[in-house]
Amino acid sequence: MPAIWNNLLHLFFPRLCLLCKEPLTQKEKQLCQGCLHNLPYTCFYETGNNLLFQRLMGKVLVEHATAFLYYVKRGTTQQLVFSLKYYGNKELAYLLGRLMALAFRDTPLCSTADVLIPVPLHRKRERKRGYNQAEKLCRGIASVWDLPVDTTSLYRLLKTDTQTKRGLYDRWFNMQDVFAVKDAEALQDKHVILVDDVVTSGSTACSCAEALLTAVPGIRVSVFALTVVA
Ligand SMILES: [Zn+2]
């Protein structure tokens, strides 16, 4: 589109910042500089010693665990996550993935990673939502870290499957969150980065990590979350 039309469009239909609703400049996407600056960053660049790592430690053997932002109820991060989850905002998911990747580019998480795996959605939910927000985050991260994204090796078992697998897992793991692995050889000896949008108790991330560690010889698993509940 010629620049003049772009400018006119922008004049009559300004794109607004998702958070403060002020018009964005042409260079800004989704969020204005001010709102971006004020997000509740965790600064968990020490990927082996932070609140999330400590939460997972003792439940599952992860290599690193870190999160980009604090999840604040009724705060800006909740608005962002709702936009990903309930408003299908794929561009935001991709953008946040890129921001996460840029912020953690100089950490051991990045320098040792081999492949990104999004926490799989329930298939029904993914159909309904049209996309998996964790996968879009991965695509954003992958574009900066130059890594492959694997969306097939780790999958959720159907509810009926989970009934039969019961007992294999600790009761601590939620019944909804039982995962399995296919093509385990492809992940052998790899360092896998599990990506999710929100980590609360960490039970979903632990279930994923547990499934991967059990099925794949020599695998190492880390967790990289967009947000963590403090
Ligand atoms: Zn703003």
pTM for this prediction: 0.88
Q: Which of 153, 117, 155, 118 is nearest to 133 (CA)?
A: 118
Do residues 26 and 98 both lie within one domain? no
pLDDT band at 188 (very low <50, low <70, confident <90, very high): very high
Do residues 90 and 134 both lie within one domain? yes
pLDDT band at 125 (very low <50, low <70, confident <90, very high): confident
Do residues 12 and 113 both lie within one domain? no
Higher pLDDT, 131 or 112: 112
Total domains, the chain: 2
Average pLDDT over residues 158-187: 64
Q: Does the pLDDT value for residue 144 go beyond 60?
A: yes
C-alpha 34 to ligand 1 mean position (Å) = 6
C-alpha 174 to ligand 1 mean position (Å) = 37
pLDDT band at 173 (very low <50, low <70, confident <90, very high): very low
Do residues 53 and 26 both lie within one domain? no
Query: Each residue of 28-40: pLDDT tens digit?
Result: 999 999 999 999 9
Do residues 34 and 44 both lie within one domain? no
| Domain residue limits at 44 | 40-229
Note whether 141 and 224 are within 8 A (CB).
yes
Burial class for 81, CB neighbours closer than 10 Å (0-12, 13-18, 19+): buried
Do residues 174 and 160 both lie within one domain? yes
Q: How does the average pLDDT of the chain come out, rounded?
A: 89
Q: Does the pLDDT value for residue 164 go beyond 50?
A: no
Do residues 215 and 121 both lie within one domain? yes
CATH of the domain at 75: 3.40.50
Do residues 105 and 204 both lie within one domain? yes
Do residues 72 and 51 both lie within one domain? yes
Q: Answer positive or negative: Cα dihedral of 81, 134, 128, 209.
A: negative
Structure token pair of residue 11: 């004049």
pLDDT of 172 reads 46
C-alpha 121 to ligand 1 mean position (Å) = 30
Highest mean pLDDT among 113-127, 169-183, 204-218 belongs to 204-218
pLDDT of 162 reads 45
Do residues 67 and 122 both lie within one domain? yes
Note whether 100 and 137 are within 8 A (CB).
yes
Residue 178 falls in which region: left (phi positive, over 0), alpha (psi -120 to 50) or beta? beta
C-alpha 16 to ligand 1 mean position (Å) = 8
Do residues 29 and 68 both lie within one domain? no
pLDDT band at 171 (very low <50, low <70, confident <90, very high): very low
C-alpha 117 to ligand 1 mean position (Å) = 31
